[in-house]
Structures are given as structure tokens and as C-alpha cells.
Structure 1
Amino acid sequence: MYPVDLPAVDDSDLTSASEQYLSSLESRARGNEVFQASQTSEIAITANNVRRLQLFEAEQPDCTLLALHPPDDPTQVVALYLHEKWWCVADVLRTSSTSRSGLMLVQSIMERVIVFLLSQVVDRHSEQEVLFSLHPRTESCKLLWRDSQVVGFYTVKHKGSLCDGWSSQAYLLPVLDTVLVRASWRRRGCGLHMLEDFCSSFSTEKFMGVSSPLSPGMVAVCRKFLQQHEDYQERLYEVEAPGGWSQRRNIWLNIKLGRYSLCINEESSPTSGETQRNETQSNNCRPEATSFSICNVNTPPATGSSEEQIKPCDPSHGGSSPSSKTSGTGCSPAAHADELDHRPPTRPPKSLNTKQALISQPSLSTETCGEKPDSEDTQGRIKRVRRT
């Protein structure tokens, strides 16, 4: 069995067990424990190469777990201390339960640990910035399970939920905030599957959002989805938190107008929330450690790098969250509450009618702007038009 299959624990139990183990480790004159990273590699477990990792956002009560790293590289994560033993990262992402299949709502603390690993550790080289800020412990999230392992996740900002912890602004529509698919599982329809699940979960809502900015990979996923589900073409928007009308852009319209950088193949590059990375994570324990930057865990998202959307707090996203890292709706709104119109305009903007907006685009003219007609016949035509 793997950690996610073992009896449930709460975050206080996880933190308490971690502190007790670290305290006992620090009290020893010399460490005599080792972790078998592979058949040919083992790492000594000492207080010098064990670090605390914060699982949730800083403003929340502490919840920490212990990570083992090589003595010469503290940015790597070799194993995690869970259920009173060390587990390699690959095993933490696996399950022995056949019932774990497809998209499943995150509920247990171990599932929260998996979200943490996917967003902070997996598929990232040591020189890369952390792609997402830490997710809140109450973040609405689903994990995607296939072949007895987790292959991705997505998070949602519900309509009416607060955008951040320091203002009273709330989301005006449900928003797909963060989407991540592991490198080894991209281009297999996982991103499309998660977008379809999100939209079907809020099918009664008139409008739905995807956090801004959209990465090329996420644009490709949205295009394929909207081609297959035309009834969502007028309902799916790229949004910045909290999602007022001035913070929404119709995705289908902008795709047709060529305003996005588009990937040729779905998920050929990151789709929301992460940057393009090489495939580094296998299904088995490996001597190579998984990269993780201890110092950057709490830093805000790096603007502009996004893959599966994911989304932690970035002003460009309009919100702040676990997801507020590279691609997603951060919690900092792009507009102040007093600048937002919480009601739809009496005459919907043209972007709400994609077909009309496309047809009404003005064509280019070779006439100089403001040039006067040079013939009486032309002037006559203009007068007749004005009279009509």
C-alpha cells in the first residue's frame, strides 16, 4: 500500500509526527539511518539533510512535512516522511486502490500532499522557479488518476468565494484556476478531460471562466473543447479575479481573431500554471532526486510562465491562491471593487456575440483617415447616405 491508501490522518497529526521525528534526529550524536534511493544509491538521514516543507499558505496554521535531500543539494527532494517512514516521491504519487480512477475530489490530507508535490516538486529542474504558490487547505481541487498513479490535477474558484484574505472581493463566476498535467502524460487528452469535467460541473451557470493568462497549451485545449461543444462558445471566458465584465474576454472570439499564441498539438506545451519542462518523473523510485526549491516555496508566481493553468496569485491573473503562481487567477484583482459592474451590461458587449463580432470587424482601407472626397458625385453619395 502507498501513503494515500493508508488510514487517514489530519494535518495536526502530520505536523506533530514530523516535529517529533526531527527532534529525535537532532538529538542523536550521529545518524545511523539511511534511505535506499535505488539499488545502488543510499542517502544517510541526518538533521543536516532533512528540511521542513510548508504544505499550505503562510497565513494559515502551520502544517509541515519532512523532506529528505542529498547532502550536497538542498534543492532536491528524495523522499518524504509520512506514516512514520520515508517514502520516495514516486511512491507518494501512486495508489494500490483500484477504486482510484479518473477525476476524484481531493478530501484527505494525503491527497493534499499529492497536490503539493505536483505543484511544487514534480517535473521541475533545480534551476526553475516554483510554478505555483501554495494552495489553501480548503481549495476545491480534483486529482486525475490513471493506471494506479496520479497524472494531474485542477483547482476551482467557486462563484461567491473570496478572492483573497485581505479584501472583501468575491468571484462573480466559477473559474478554472489551475490545471497541471505531468510531463509524461501530456498530449493524451488529460487537459481536455479536465476542462470538460469543469464545464459539466457548472453546466447550470450562464458564464464560466478560465484564469488569465492562458498559455499556448491551454488555448489549444480550449479551442478543441469549444469546437466540440459549440454551446459553450458564448459562455467560456478568460478572466481576471474577481471576474467583472471589464475583466472577461471571450475565449472563442479571441481564438478566431488570432489574439492567442496557439500550440499546434493539444498539451504540446504547458497549459495553465506551469512552464515547459522535460519529462523527469518516472513511476518507480529513482536515484535521481526530484527538484524543489526550499527558499522559493512561498514566493509569488512568476508572471508569464504557464502551462496547464494552473494558477496561483499573480496580478495578471487577478487573484491569489495556491494557484497563484505562474498561470492562474491570483488573488489580486486587476480592478478595484468600486470599478466593477457586478451586473451584465444592458446591451451585452459584442464579445458576447462571437459570430456578430467576427462579421462586424472593419476591413482595412487604403484611404487616408479624414481624406475628403475629390468629386461632386462622391459628395452626393455621402449626403444621400446621411439622409437615409
Structure 2
Amino acid sequence: MLPLHASYLTMTSMKMYPVDLPPLDEIDMRAASEKYILSLESQPKSKEWFVSSKSSKFEITARNIKWLELLFEDNQTRCSILALHRPEDPNQVLALYLHGSWWCVNDVMRTTCKSRTDLLPVESLIERLIIFLLSQVVERTSEEEGLFSLLPRTESANLLWQDGQAVGFYTVKQKGNLCDTWSSRCYLLPVLDTVLVRKSWRRQGLGLKMLGDFCSSFPSEEVLGISVPLSTGMVAVCRRFLQLNEEQRDRLYEVEAPGEWTQRRNIWLNIQLSRYLWT
């Protein structure tokens, strides 16, 4: 029996990726993965290989697969996905088990859907998985440990698609949403929480594009926030954006939750007063 994505290839005669296939939910994904593990353990002498490139292949065994927990910083059911790693390096994810097949990480973040381009709202589990991969796996280095927080399911996000691949995203804490799970405080204004552009796509104005999209998404709001602390890169993006968009200078503030006036500092004023560290 062909895996689900293989049947789709037969019907469409074009390569498709997980984000292009029918939506998955946590229960179905977990069940399929558990079934795969059982089949792998029941046939220990039958070798299965994952080919990561023309010159590299890895045997798939119980020793080099593990559960990758997709924690979304809320109290809902945890989501787990089966991950293949290098035998000598359990922290390096090579592939993920989706739709009955192993997909290399880069393919999970690709699409053949022509309408999937530019900034689009995150709606499916696979799209949230892509954000997880971008922030926690693909673009994360030892120097960036803990730099990007995990995305709560209640938080809005937009993925940036270019040339058939996900190249960045930004997340927003909506006005009125709870600030945390242990208090009753709610955000008093929309807050841009996280912005990420893949290293190979930086210095092309994509950070400016996402900041502009955030500002234009709330035309009726007099004040918008950006979560503290601002990174050096984010300060540079804000500086350039506010140089080009003077009408936004009195509108953008760095804020601490929940965003009381005493927790807001005007970003343009801080730039003019050289209150940010530059590298």
C-alpha cells in the first residue's frame, strides 16, 4: 500500500509536501507514528534507510528515532512527532515522520502551492510545526539558546513564503488575550512578539515587510507594541522602518506585559536618545 503522499503524487504528477497534503491533527499523527514504531520493532532484521542526499543515507532504527515534543506554552494536549536524528548526534533532526513517510526538514518547510506566497496566517498544525522548526531547530544555534519562545496555540502568527519555501514568520499577542496561564492579566494592545527571517534570506528587506504588515493589520489602534527586550537586529529594523514611515513614530512602543502606559517606551524616541546598544 502506498503512503498517503505517494498516492497524491500519482494523481497530480507533481511533487507535493506535507503542508500541501490534507490537514493532520495531533491524534492521527501520534497514532500513525506509534504504528510505525511497532512495525519497526517487529521486524528488527529488516533494514530501512533514509536518504538525506545523493551521498548520505542513514539506517532507521529504534536507536536513532525519538519523540519530538511540540510544546506550545499552554495547557492543551501536547503534540508529539517522530523525529529521525544522526546516530552520533541526537540533537540534530534529519527528518520527521508525516503522512506515512519520512520527510527531510527542508522539505517540511517547502510547498508547491502557487497561492502560498508572501505573508499568510498560520492555520494548520503543519504550519505551526514549520514555525517550531524555524525557531527551535533550523535557525537555532548554541549562541541563540532560548532566544525564541515557543508559540502558544492561542497566539496569532503569519508565515512568510518566498519561492516555494517558508523563509520567516512573525507572531502577535492579540489585545485582550491572557498574558500568561497563572494570572488574569490581558494585553491592553496588540504586541509584535517574535520576528524571524532565515539567515540565508536576511538583508533583503523582509524584516521591514513583516513589521509593515503588522502595523497595517491594526489600522484602528493608536498604539502598537513590540515585546521587550528588542534584539540588535530588531532595533535596526525599527530604525529603518521609522525612518521610512514617519507616521508610525508615535505609534510603536516597546512594551512589557500587559502594556500599561508605565510599561511602554517609545521606540523612535529611544533610538534618538541612543538608548539601544549597537554592535
Contact 2:228 2:256 in 1 (8 A): yes
User: Which structure is richer in relative contact order (CA contacts within 8 A, separation 6 or more)?
Assistant: 1
CA RMSD of aligned residues (A): 1.5
Distance 1:133 1:207 in 2: 24
Deviations 1:179-222 (A, max 9, x none): 00000000000100000000000121011000101111111111
Assess, with a 3 A threshold, how the Cα gap between structure 1 residues 125 and 256 changes in structure 2: closer, same or farther: closer
Distance 2:142 2:58 in 1: 19
Distance 1:26 1:241 in 2: 48
Verify: 1:56 aligned to 2:71, yes or no. Answer: yes
1:210 aligned residue: 226
Contact 1:116 1:134 in 2 (8 A): yes
Deviations 1:210-244 (A, max 9, x none): 01011111111111111122121111100011111
1:227 aligned residue: 243
Contact 2:189 2:259 in 1 (8 A): yes
Count of aligned positions: 263
Gaps of 5+ in 2: 1-15
Secondary structure at the residue paired with 2:27?
Answer: helix
Deviations 1:138-177 (A, max 9, x none): 3200000011111100000000000111110100100000
Question: Which structure features the higher share of strand residues?
Answer: 2
1:47 aligned residue: 62
Contact 2:155 2:174 in 1 (8 A): no
Deviations 1:230-284 (A, max 9, x none): 1211111000111111111100000000101246xxxxxxxxxxxxxxxxxxxxx
Deviations 1:44-73 (A, max 9, x none): 111110011111336320211111001111
Correspondence for 1:71 among 72, 83, 87:
87
- CA-CA distance at 1:128 after TM superposition: 5.4
> Aligned ranges for residues 68-147 of structure 1 at < 5 Å?
68-125=84-141, 129-147=145-163
Contact 2:174 2:187 in 1 (8 A): yes
2:7 aligned residue: none
Q: Share of identical aligned residues, percent?
A: 63
Deviations 1:87-146 (A, max 9, x none): 111111111011111000001111111011001101234675243232122320000001
TM-score computed with the length of structure 2 as normaliser? 0.90
Correspondence for 1:240 among 250, 256, 260:
256
Secondary structure at the residue paired with 2:86?
Answer: coil
Paired residue type of 2:45: R
Correspondence for 1:21 among 30, 36, 48:
36
**Which structure: larger Rg?**
1
Contact 1:31 1:46 in 2 (8 A): no
Q: Which 4+ runs in 1 deviate beyond 4 A?
A: none
Distance 1:127 1:225 in 2: 27
Secondary structure at the residue paired with 2:90?
Answer: coil
Secondary structure at the residue paired with 2:89?
Answer: coil
1:172 aligned residue: 188
Contact 1:217 1:262 in 2 (8 A): no
Assess, with a 3 A threshold, how the Cα gap between structure 1 residues 254 and 130 changes in structure 2: closer, same or farther: closer
